[in-house]
Structure 1
Amino acid sequence: MEILAFGVQADEKPLIEKAFAGKHEVRCLEVFLTPDTAAIAAGYEVISTSVNADLGAKVLETLAAGGTRMIAQRSTGFNNIDLDVAGSLGMRVARVSYYSPHSVAEFAWTLAMAVNRKVIRAATRTRDFDFRLAGLLGRDMHGRTAGVIGTGKIGEAFTRIAHGFGMNLLGWDVAENPACVELGMRYVEKDQLFAEADLVSLHVPLLPATHHLIDQRAMVLMKRDAILVNSSRGGLVDTRALVTELRSGHFLGVGLDVYEEEAGLFFLDKSLEGIDDDTLARLLTFPNVLVTSHQAYYTEDAVGQIIDATAANVDDYLSGRRGDNVLVPAAPEG
């Protein structure tokens, strides 16, 4: 069987080909799955998609009409998939429920320290042989307070690093993580965390209940010199409200690896044509804001685990097994 993989990055292609070698042929495409590209999948029973694929009703209906019966998404998040429609069409949808949490946690800390210590500004200066220190004053993390929103596997990994810095630890989640409590974390209400934390890092999934979890009200509660980091999902932060707060001088720094309107932008080269997203364009003008293009997960370890799990999901489907990663089972035949 030949499998069609959408949205494959150059670094991923050899890993995907290796994972499926000896089992199935795989056709890797750089283009992302959208309403305009869905017809390419005609004749492919199994496809694999990336986190920024459009798997809304229209695309799913096109895929089903073309014979697609199984979608293996190469990510943990699945907020881009209309699972109800997929189920009604008799499609199986599987995700990757686990990969290295250290990849995202370490990158979240990379963003935090980069904005704290003005690393981008400093590097730009030294390339121009400007070696002044004015404007590069950072601060120690030791003794300050980290507020972790979401203390699952990634939040726990982030907390362990914060503990290594010697920080005070505040957490918020629907359930306490005993490992974080053992590290000294105190679980508090969101408002208290926002008010007391010097660094707020987001590690919750994007659900209706968490959409715009960081809205203007939440931001106003935060310290004027707080650092905000989001390496989870863009929709957790109300970006327009963030721009308003940044214009007022709020936040020592903001590190974003995700953006709520990133589909159609992130993972693509827009350097020649520019972008027509005024909110993102304005966000990128602030010197204390660092935006990266959804790369927190992008390590050899994590990507390798994601692809291996994707291959296993396909094997399960073809063998008639239902693995733990299945979100929607295929409708029974007959």
Structure 2
Amino acid sequence: MNIACFSTKSYDRQSFDRILPEFGHSFSYFEAKLDIHTVSLAEGHEAICTFVNDHIDAAIVKKLKQLGIKLIALRCAGYNQVDLDAAETNKLKIVRVPAYSPEAVAEHAIALILTLARKTHKAYNRVRENNFSLEGLTGVNIHGKTIGVIGTGAIGRAFCRIAKGFGCKVIAYDIYENEEMKQLGVTYLPLNEVLSSSHIISLHCPLTPETHHLINATTIKHMQDGVALINTSRGALIETKAAIKALKNKKIGYFGIDVYEQEENIFFKNLSEEIMQDEQIARLMTFPNVLVTGHQAFLTKEALAQISQTTLTNITAFENGEELVNEVKAS
């Protein structure tokens, strides 16, 4: 099949080109994000391949149908950026990569926690200027702390295993309790109890209408003073204004995010020569106890290999009329 691949970076090309000969598909790589202005690039192709910040709304779905597109292959796990009802109406199939490397994202969440807890990002910058003073670098132990995990899907479970290895007490909230996690020693509690009992809270749930702004002014009030809040899942799980206020009054002691609710016009771009127009993320980056990474939690060689393998397998299954085990449908 001929596939138009949007939001392409060099690492995408490398991972796909490495195994494309095994599948026989043809990829056209476009750096542009998929939107109403770039959708015409899909002309002459049978399928498109998109990433998390390619918003596929009803207008784009309709245009894709007109261009002869039959399949939308998401090279990510999340699909909240797709109008599923519009896709179903226009008879466009959607497939995704439900799990590529849960450990990649879980390990990045741990990296955010350790960096903030031990202030290694500050130490790195100091030492590069020949400043070896330890003043202001006092950290906190992770061992013995209570970590609250919101969402125990594949990534949340991987995170729990690592946290247990650090000697932490792990409590969790999920509408579906996992028996494997219970055997590991994870205790499931109601959301408010997890929020109030945790020294560290890590978010690992999908973005749905029910979880949008799950962390807001009201839920933050349930948290301990000085809590560490980590998000490597979806940006809109956190109401940014509420988080900023909580940072200012020291309710949140540490804040580590790899995702941001308004990230689509910021992340995956080099804006070093531009003035930041987004006032909220600009404000976040002024706090000494905030660490922001640009949606890189997934970015490991192992994860990229799995993403390309699963995406191409999904496309081949569609081409051959086989069962689409990773199909996403409107509810």
- TM-score, normalised via structure 1 length: 0.96
Q: What residue in structure 2 maps to residue 268 of structure 1?
A: 269
- Per-residue displacement from partner, 1:188-242 (whole Å, max 9, x unpaired)? 1111111110110001000011011111111122112211000000011001110
3-state SS of 1:21 partner: helix
**Distance (whole Å) between structure 2 residues aligned to residue 11 and residue 52 of structure 1:** 17
Which amino acid in 1 is paired with 2:328? L
- Per-residue displacement from partner, 1:271-290 (whole Å, max 9, x unpaired)? 12233111111111111001
Q: What residue in structure 1 maps to residue 19 of structure 2?
A: 19
Unmatched 5+ stretches in structure 2? none
Asked if structure 2 preserves the Cα contact closer than 8 Å seen for 1:116 and 1:252, the reply is no
Q: What residue in structure 2 maps to residue 80 of structure 1?
A: 81
**Distance (whole Å) between structure 1 residues aligned to residue 236 and residue 105 of structure 2:** 17
**Distance (whole Å) between structure 2 residues aligned to residue 15 and residue 202 of structure 1:** 28
Unmatched 5+ stretches in structure 1? 330-334
CA apart distance, 1:90: 1.3
Which amino acid in 2 is paired with 1:82? D
Q: What residue in structure 1 maps to residue 190 of structure 2?
A: 189
Percent identity between the two aligned chains: 38
CA apart distance, 1:95: 0.6
**Distance (whole Å) between structure 2 residues aligned to residue 140 and residue 5 of structure 1:** 44
**TM alignment of 1:24-173, pairs within 5 A:** 24-173=25-174
**Distance (whole Å) between structure 2 residues aligned to residue 136 and residue 56 of structure 1:** 47
- Per-residue displacement from partner, 1:165-187 (whole Å, max 9, x unpaired)? 11111111012111211121111
- Per-residue displacement from partner, 1:135-187 (whole Å, max 9, x unpaired)? 11111111110101111211111111111111111111012111211121111
**TM alignment of 1:133-282, pairs within 5 A:** 133-282=134-283
3-state SS of 1:146 partner: strand
**Distance (whole Å) between structure 2 residues aligned to residue 50 and residue 318 of structure 1:** 21
**Distance (whole Å) between structure 2 residues aligned to residue 144 and residue 25 of structure 1:** 50
CA apart distance, 1:293: 0.9
**Distance (whole Å) between structure 2 residues aligned to residue 271 and residue 37 of structure 1:** 25
**Distance (whole Å) between structure 2 residues aligned to residue 159 and residue 26 of structure 1:** 38
CA apart distance, 1:324: 1.1
The more displaced of 75-84 and 265-274 is: 265-274
Asked if structure 1 preserves the Cα contact closer than 8 Å seen for 2:151 and 2:173, the reply is yes
**Distance (whole Å) between structure 2 residues aligned to residue 245 and residue 191 of structure 1:** 17
Asked if structure 2 preserves the Cα contact closer than 8 Å seen for 1:199 and 1:226, the reply is yes
Q: What residue in structure 2 maps to residue 332 of structure 1?
A: none
Asked if structure 2 preserves the Cα contact closer than 8 Å seen for 1:91 and 1:328, the reply is no
- Per-residue displacement from partner, 1:250-275 (whole Å, max 9, x unpaired)? 22211100001111211111112233
CA apart distance, 1:13: 0.5
- Per-residue displacement from partner, 1:66-96 (whole Å, max 9, x unpaired)? 1111110100000000010011111111111
Asked if structure 2 preserves the Cα contact closer than 8 Å seen for 1:200 and 1:228, the reply is yes
Asked if structure 2 preserves the Cα contact closer than 8 Å seen for 1:170 and 1:185, the reply is yes
3-state SS of 1:254 partner: strand
Asked if structure 2 preserves the Cα contact closer than 8 Å seen for 1:254 and 1:289, the reply is yes
**Distance (whole Å) between structure 2 residues aligned to residue 18 and residue 2 of structure 1:** 17
CA apart distance, 1:15: 1.4
3-state SS of 1:78 partner: coil
**Distance (whole Å) between structure 2 residues aligned to residue 308 and residue 51 of structure 1:** 18
Which amino acid in 2 is paired with 1:157? A
- TM-score, normalised via structure 2 length: 0.96
Asked if structure 1 preserves the Cα contact closer than 8 Å seen for 2:147 and 2:201, the reply is yes
3-state SS of 2:165 partner: helix
**Distance (whole Å) between structure 2 residues aligned to residue 94 and residue 328 of structure 1:** 9
Which amino acid in 2 is paired with 1:291? V
List, as ranges, runs of 4+ consecutive aligned residues in structure 1 with deviation greater than 3 Å.
Answer: none
- Per-residue displacement from partner, 1:15-49 (whole Å, max 9, x unpaired)? 11223225022111221111211111112111101
